[in-house]
Structure 1
Amino acid sequence: MARSPLLEGLPPIGSPDARLVILGNMPSVLSLSSGQYYGNPRNAFWRIVGELFGCAPDVPYEQRVAMLDRNDIAVWDVLKHCRRIGSLDSAIEPDSMVANDFGSFFVAHPNVERVYFNGAAAERNFTRLVELDVPGTLRLPSTSPAQTMRYADKLAAWRAGLSRAR
């Protein structure tokens, strides 16, 4: 039986002065191929943070990243690499998961006060794979199109969650 491809995640985005970090689980196939976080246009991430921080989701990627920087937000994923066919978190081979180096991340981002998980898989894998005490954490509903929650409900949950950091 053929093994799933080994996927390598993306480097973190956001300034070293970030006060909060949003952690996904592992970028989608579209994100990895474009080299951009939340590259699937059906993913609600850019639409949600754009609405919360005043940036249209269709502006160039560099402008969206700059919007995150202006709002002291960093983005990364829990997994450095894993084996998976497709983009679903449920398709990740559990024994292939390797977490990113969060010890180094928090040294490079000493102002992080809050860690937000973009969905249950990110929270579960961080808890299982990363042995660090981290600042206050909160799981938000996944912005993935596979999460069938209504957009208005996702937006309300993200608005409430991110307002805690302000």
Structure 2
Amino acid sequence: MTTSPRKRGFPPVVDARTRLLILGSLPGEASLAAGEYYGNPRNAFWRLLEGVLDEALVPLPYAERLAVLQRHGVGLWDVVAEAERRGSLDSSILKPDANDLLALVETLPALRAVAFNGGTAARLGSRLLAPAADRLALIALPSSSPAHAARSLAQKAAAWSVLTSVLDARSTRSD
């Protein structure tokens, strides 16, 4: 039996101001090829965050998108560090090695919540972060992936709008 190619994710995009950490499962083929989180133009991630942050992201170059996220206290990473996978579907992930999520959250003094982008990220990540659940909100979100077509963009946006409460005006924002 042949093994699937081993795929490795990206480093975290966080800093000491990160209040919300959004975790995906493992970057898909388009993202890996682009070297960017949510690099598939059909993935709704950047459009969904535009609604959460009330700021344009899609037209910006990637580095500027990340700068906007960090300015708003949003960090990115993935639950899976590397795994075997053919294609981009989470259902094709085999032999996953997890990122050390607990170690990362311990380095983020302002962190208030972790949001999981999709069911696989939520299932795996919730287990890994269970010891921190008493001090962090763990939020499961519908996947922004184009493969998750069970919900419309509007339905996904309504679910993702819960993130605005994590990033509300009462929190310390450094612009």
The TM-score, its normalising length taken from structure 1, stands at 0.92
Contact 1:31 1:40 in 2 (8 A): yes
**Conservation of the 8 A alpha-carbon contact between 1:99 and 1:130:** no
Structure 1 residues without counterparts, runs of 5 or longer: none
Checking the alignment, whether the CA contact within 8 Å between 2:102 and 2:132 is kept in structure 1 is no
Alpha carbons of structure 1 residues 10 and 156: separation in structure 2 relative to 1, 3 Å = same
Offset, 1:70: 1.0
Structure 1 ranges of 4+ moved more than 6 A:
none
Query: Would you say how many aligned residue pairs link Structure 1 and Structure 2?
Result: 163
CA deviations 1:14-72 (Å, max 9, x no partner) are 32210110011111111112111000000000111123320231210011101101110
Secondary structure in 2 matching 1:68: helix
TM-score normalised by L of structure 2: 0.88
**Matching residue of 1:60:** 61
**Superposed displacement of residue 132, structure 1:** 3.1
Question: Identity of paired residues, percent?
Answer: 40
Q: Could you tell me which amino acid in structure 1 is paired with residue 18 of structure 2? A: A
- The answer on whether the counterparts of 2:78 and 2:99 sit within 8 Å (CA) in structure 1 is yes
Matches within 5 A, 1:4-23: 4-23=4-23
**What is the Cα deviation at residue 106 of structure 1?**
1.4
8 Å Cα contact 1:82-1:98 kept in structure 2 = yes
Preserved CA contact (<8 Å) 2:126 2:138: no
Question: Does the Cα contact within 8 Å between 1:84 and 1:92 map onto a contact in 2?
Answer: yes
Structure 2 gap ranges (5+):
169-175
One-letter code of the match for 2:124? Answer: N
Structure 1 residue 114: Cα displacement: 0.5
CA RMSD of aligned residues (A): 1.4
